[in-house]
Amino acid sequence: MEPEDDLRSRIEAALVRGRLTKWQRHFLLDMRDRLVKYGPRTRLSAKQWARLHEIIGPTSPSPSAPSHSPLNRAPSSSRWRPRRSRSPLAREARYLAARFTRAFGIALALVVGSLIYSHIEKGGHISWPSMPSFARSATGDRVPLARSQFTVTDGDTIRLDGAAKGTRLVGFNAPESIEPRCPVEADLGRRAKARLTELVASAKLELEMIPCSCTAGTEGTDRCNYGRSCGSLFANGQDVGDVLISEGLAVPFVCGATSCPPTPRPWCAS
């Protein structure tokens, strides 16, 4: 088994066993998604290795030396060579380039800071920089979405290509396919995910990003919807949530402006 496959299997085993906090579960899901998407090209920081060590036990190689791990393999170092002396002209050019880079970085930081400050002053949210450019639409606008621009996580969640977090589809709740609470939910969760995948396979797709139902100032952070964005996905003009509800693969789930009622999960009721 390849190293990344072994690590992914251990992560999935930890998810199945349960006994995780919400943060730990979200972290493991994010790590698993990276391994699925990037395979042996996945890069994990020392801090991420340390978190994995805390949750699933020691990994091989040691998290304390991530640069030597199969997922962070560095090219073999060449033999030592004497450092070449640079001419005065080359040193001067290097110095001027460094000065220019520093000045440009400061100017760019000032511009970005000004934009963010202006955005906050107008009462807006600042979670959009983590979203792909095709999803940075104004609230209420539908934008075309290609099938290649996202992956289906489960029956009510997708992940946009390039986004740090997933996008929770609103208005409905589908059974869990990753951490089901009973066999019935596990079966329905797999069917809901498969049905959503089928709905978006060849349809004309549109995505409408909307504010999540969170307290002011928390959107885009882990305190709001686990850091995920929120939106509605339309296949040939129809909300995919309405289709799943009509087929018994989801239930309505409507939130208020800043909070949601308890998540409906009727599948494991005795």
Give the pLDDT confidence score for residue 48 in this predicted structure: 85
Instruction: State the pLDDT confidence band at 158, using cuts at 50, 70 and 90.
Output: very high
- Is the domain of 31 the same as that of 138? no
Quick check: 122 pLDDT over 60? no
- Is the domain of 65 the same as that of 142? no
- Is the domain of 160 the same as that of 250? yes
- Is the domain of 58 the same as that of 185? no
Q: How distant, in Å, are the alpha carbons of 98, 109, 175, 186, 248 from that of 267? A: 61, 50, 7, 9, 11
116 within a domain of the structure (yes/no): no
Quick check: 123 pLDDT over 80? no
- Is the domain of 51 the same as that of 137? no
55 within a domain of the structure (yes/no): yes
The CA distance from 72 to 61, in Å, is: 10
Name beta bridge partners: 36.
none
Whole domain around residue 25: which residue ranges? Answer: 3-72
Give the pLDDT confidence score for residue 136 in this predicted structure: 54
Question: Using one digit for the tens of pLDDT, what is the confidence trace for 212-241?
Answer: 999 888 888 888 988 899 999 999 999 999
- Is the domain of 259 the same as that of 141? yes
- Is the domain of 55 the same as that of 142? no
Residue 218 belongs to domain with CATH number = 2.40.50.90
Question: Using one digit for the tens of pLDDT, what is the confidence trace for 77-88?
Answer: 444 455 565 677
pTM equals 0.51
98 within a domain of the structure (yes/no): no
More confident residue, 3 or 186: 186
107 within a domain of the structure (yes/no): no
Q: Are 55 and 18 in contact (CB under 8 A)?
A: no
Segment 91-101 mean pLDDT: 81
List, as one string, the DSSP characters of 61-130: S-TT-GGGSGGGPPPPPPPP-PPPPPPHHHHHHHHHHHHHHHHHHHHHHHHHHHHHHHHHHTT----GGG
- Is the domain of 152 the same as that of 245? yes
Segment 13-42 mean pLDDT: 83
Give the pLDDT confidence score for residue 80 in this predicted structure: 43
- Is the domain of 177 the same as that of 260? yes
- Look at the chain and report how many structural domains it folds into: 2
86 within a domain of the structure (yes/no): no
191 within a domain of the structure (yes/no): yes
Q: What is the mean pLDDT of the chain?
A: 81
- Is the domain of 65 the same as that of 141? no
Question: Using one digit for the tens of pLDDT, what is the confidence trace for 128-140?
Answer: 445 565 555 545 6
